[in-house]
Chains A and B, each alone.
Chain A
Amino acid sequence: MRLIVPLRGVIQGRGGLFVGSLIPCCLFYFLQLYLKRRRPPPTDPTELPRTSSRTNLFSRGNSIGRVRVSSRAVPVAKPSDSPYYIGLERVKTDPYDRIKNTDGIIQLGLAESTLCFDLLQRWMSENLMESMMQSDDGEFDISSIAMYKPFEGLLELRVAFADFMSRIMGGNVSFDPSNMVITAGGTPAIEVLAFCLADHGNAFLIPTPYYPGFDRDIKFRTGVELIPVHCRSSDNFTVTVSALEQALNQARKRGSKVSGILFSNPSNPVGNILSRETLQDILRFAQEKNIHVISDEIFAGSVYGDKEFVSMAEIAGSGEFDKSRVHIIYGLSKDLSIPGFRAGVIYSFHEDVVNAAKKLMRFSSVPVPVQRILISLLSDVRFIEEYMTAHRQRIRDKHIRFVEGLKQLGIPCAESGGGLYCWVDMSSLLTSYSEKGELELFEKLLTVAKINATPGTACYCIEPGWFRCCFTALADEDIPVIMERIRQLRESSRS
Chain B
Amino acid sequence: MTRTEPNRSRSSNSDSEKNSGNGGGGRTTAMRVIVPLQGVVQGRGGLFLGSVIPCAFFYFLQFYLKRNRKNDESDNSGEQNSSASSSSSPNSGLPDPTRSQSAGHLTELTGLPRSLSRILLSPRNSGGAVSVSGRVNCVLKGGDSSPYYVGQKRVEEDPYDELGNPDGVIQLGLSQNIKLSFDDWVLENPKEAISDGLSISGIASYEPSDGLLELKMAVAGFMSEATKNSVSFDPSQLVLTSGASSAIEILSFCLADSGNAFLVPTPCSPGYDRDVKWRTGVDIIHVPCRSADNFNMSMVVLDRAFYQAKKRGVRIRGIIISNPSNPMGSLLSRENLYALLDFARERNIHIISNEIFAGSVHGEEGEFVSMAEIVDTEENIDRERVHIVYDLSKDLSFPGLRSAAIYSFNESVLSASRKLTTLSPVSSPTQHLLISAISNPKNVQRLVKTNRQRLQSIYMELVKGLKELGIECTKSNGGFYCWADMRGLISSYSEKGEIELWNKLLNIGKINVIPGSCCHCIEPGWFRICFSNLSEKDVPVVMNRIRKVCQTCKSQN
Contacts and interface: CB of A to CB of B under 8 A. Distances in A.
Contacts of A341: 203-204, 427-429
* Size bracket, chain A contacts: 35 or more
A364 B425 contact: yes
A287 B126 contact: yes
A256 B115 CA distance: 10
A246 to B, nearest CB: 18
Interface stretch (B306-314, B407-415, B449-457, B518-526): B407-415
Interface in B48-90: 49, 53-54, 57, 61, 65, 68-69, 72-75, 79, 83, 87-90
Given A195-B279, A200-B93, A200-B135, 15 more contacts: A9-B37, A40-B347, A67-B385, A69-B254, A71-B79, A72-B90, A73-B253, A74-B412, A200-B88, A200-B111, A201-B114, A217-B423, A259-B133, A338-B203, A363-B249
Interface of A: 1, 5-16, 18-20, 22-23, 31, 34-35, 38-40, 42-43, 50-51, 54-55, 58, 62, 64-77, 79, 110, 112, 114, 117, 120-121, 124-125, 128-129, 133, 140, 142-143, 145-149, 184-185, 187-188, 191, 195-202, 216-217, 219-225, 255-257, 259, 287-292, 322, 324-325, 337-343, 350, 352-353, 355-356, 359-360, 362-370, 373
A211 to B, nearest CB: 13
A128 B37 CA distance: 86
Contacts of A338: 203-204
Nearest 4 CB-CB pairs, A to B? A9-B39, A13-B11, A340-B428, A223-B90
A364 B182 contact: no
Contact of A199 (B75, B115, B127): B115
A129 B436 CA distance: 14
A38 B68 contact: yes
Contacts of A39: 72, 348
Given A76-B420, A199-B88, A12 B15 contact: yes
B4 interface: yes
Interface in B388-441: 397-403, 410, 412-413, 415-416, 419-420, 422-430, 433
B381 A66 contact: yes
A89 B63 CA distance: 45
Contacts of A342: 209, 425-428
B341 to A, nearest CB: 10
Contacts of B292: none
B325 interface: no
A323 to B, nearest CB: 10
Contacts of A51: 377
A40 B346 contact: yes
A65 B74 CA distance: 12
A14 B11 contact: yes
B142 A202 contact: no
Given A112-B206, A142-B186, A322 B427 contact: no
B118 A288 contact: no
Interface stretch (B240-248, B362-370, B489-497): B240-248
Contacts of A188: 423-425
Interface in B179-212: 182-183, 186, 191, 194-195, 198-207, 209
B96 to A, nearest CB: 7
Q: Is the interface of A mostly helix, strand, loop or mixed?
A: helix
Nearest to B175: A148
A316 to B, nearest CB: 12
A200 B412 contact: no
B38 interface: yes
B268 to A, nearest CB: 17
A43 B345 contact: yes
Nearest to B383: A67
B242 A364 contact: yes
Given A142-B178, A256-B112, A290-B128, A362 B35 contact: no
Contacts of B430: 367, 369-370
B102 to A, nearest CB: 15
Contact of B401 (A18, A35, A256, A368): A368
Interface in B227-265: 242-243, 245-246, 249, 253-258, 260
7 contacts: A9-B41, A38-B73, A69-B412, A77-B416, A148-B176, A221-B423, A360-B278
A247 to B, nearest CB: 16
Nearest to A197: B133
Q: Of B36, B74, B344, B415, which is in contact with the most chain A CB atoms at under 10 Å from its CB?
A: B36
Contacts of A368: 400-402
B419 A220 contact: yes
A147 B399 contact: yes
Given A23-B36, A147-B399, A322-B127, A13 B15 contact: yes
Contacts of A14: 10-11, 13-14
A255 B400 CA distance: 45
Nearest to B428: A340
Q: Of A51, A129, A370, which is in contact with the most chain B CB atoms at under 10 Å from its CB?
A: A370
A288 B124 CA distance: 10
Contacts of A337: 204
A75 B94 contact: yes
B400 A148 contact: yes
A73 B132 contact: no
B114 to A, nearest CB: 8
A312 to B, nearest CB: 15
Given A223-B90, A325-B130, A352-B140, A70 B427 contact: no
B174 interface: yes
Contacts of A35: 65, 68
A9 B40 contact: yes
B166 interface: no
Interface in B6-21: 6-8, 10-15, 18-19
Q: Of B119, B256, B425, which is in contact with the most chain A CB atoms at under 10 Å from its CB?
A: B425
B126 A289 contact: yes
B42 interface: yes
Q: Of B65, B118, B243, which is in contact with the most chain A CB atoms at under 10 Å from its CB?
A: B243
B293 interface: no
Contacts of B87: 200
